[in-house]
Amino acid sequence: MKLFKTILAAFMALVLGVQAQNERILIPGVIIKPNSEFTNVYLLGSDKANVYYVQNPRQVNIQAERLVGVANVYIMEPPEFREAMALFEGRKYQQALTKFGEVKQKYDKFKLMPNNHFTLSGYYELECHRKLMDLDALAKSLKDFIWDPIKRADYLQQIEVYKFWDAARSKNWRRLDLMAKEWKKKRVPISIRAQIAYTHGMALEGMKQEQDALTAYATAMTADFGKSEVIVRQAALNSLRMFAARDEVKTAMQLWGTDDEDKTTDGYLALLEANGLARLYESAGLGAGVKLPAEYAKFLKFTPKEQEAAPKE
């Protein structure tokens, strides 16, 4: 058996060596032993048993290190992955999605290594689908996603939270409602809290619990205002859509400024909420660059006189 493993390792090194001569895809990295000794190397890839590397870019002979004798392998960030992350952080999710796909294709040989950039690119592809609210694509990509190489706890928790989005995709409102109530007791990062609140709002709206849905959307808007821009925008638009659909709000709009206007009705109070949210969308940047749709911009006309800005002298 030992001889077989030795031959297999040599064969894999030979294969990688031939490929390296043709493509020579190297990533600087560090192999760390259990005794904390480390070696700076240029990584070529790995299989389940070995990591393959050279000690300098000109070296022809491929070396193999058995993973059982390695505490960790640190992989330097490839420039292509850095470019993809810049697009992602710049909220250019469609472009980032394409770039992460290119990174996966180039660094396929590294996909079995811990926290490798093939798998990390796959993770950020999932995040791009989520940010684009393409839940069908998210569900499809999740089926093929192998998350074992990911070791970061925050990434693993996000992967777990995708089940909320899948329940929203399938409109399984009861299941989503139960999950949201269960996770309410957990301490989670604000970005996760925003996702749970938003999807819970969808579930409550689907179950015709409109006031609770508005409360959940309000939580989604405020939980992670700075970074969860897609959720903030969509929660605001969903809330405005719900206000616009209410008959009592339509009545309050018709009676605005007339002798029949009644400021104590539920419709009038809801209209003020819609007006305040529409103004906040415009002034606080809830849309993150997306203009307030015309069907909701109409709410801007219903600002009480006492809240209107004083004219400049």
Chain segment 268-297, per-residue pLDDT in tens: 999 999 999 999 999 988 888 899 999 999
CB of 142 closer than 8 Å to CB of 126: yes
Per-residue pLDDT at 164 = 98
| Position 48 in a domain | yes
Domain that residue 8 falls in: 2-76
| Position 307 in a domain | no
Q: How confident is the model at residue 27 (pLDDT cuts 50, 70, 90)?
A: very high
The pLDDT of residue 12 is above 90? no
The pLDDT of residue 312 is above 80? no
- Which domain CATH number covers 55? 2.30.30.100
Q: How confident is the model at residue 3 (pLDDT cuts 50, 70, 90)?
A: very low
Per-residue pLDDT at 275 = 97
Query: How far is 102 from 122, CA to CA, in rounded Å?
Result: 11
| Position 295 in a domain | no
Which of residues 158 and 10 earns the better pLDDT score?
158
φ, ψ of residue 224 to 5 degrees: the values are: -145, 60
Total domain count for the chain? 1
Calculate mean pLDDT across residues 180-196. Answer: 94
Per-residue pLDDT at 309 = 60
Per-residue pLDDT at 23 = 64
CB of 296 closer than 8 Å to CB of 286: no
| Position 68 in a domain | yes
Calculate mean pLDDT across residues 137-160. Answer: 94
| Position 16 in a domain | yes
Calculate mean pLDDT across residues 195-207. Answer: 98
| Position 145 in a domain | no
Per-residue pLDDT at 305 = 85
Q: How confident is the model at residue 237 (pLDDT cuts 50, 70, 90)?
A: very high
| Position 144 in a domain | no
| Position 301 in a domain | no
Per-residue pLDDT at 288 = 84
Query: How far is 36 from 15, CA to CA, in rounded Å?
Result: 30
Which of residues 14 and 299 earns the better pLDDT score?
299
The pLDDT of residue 18 is above 50? no
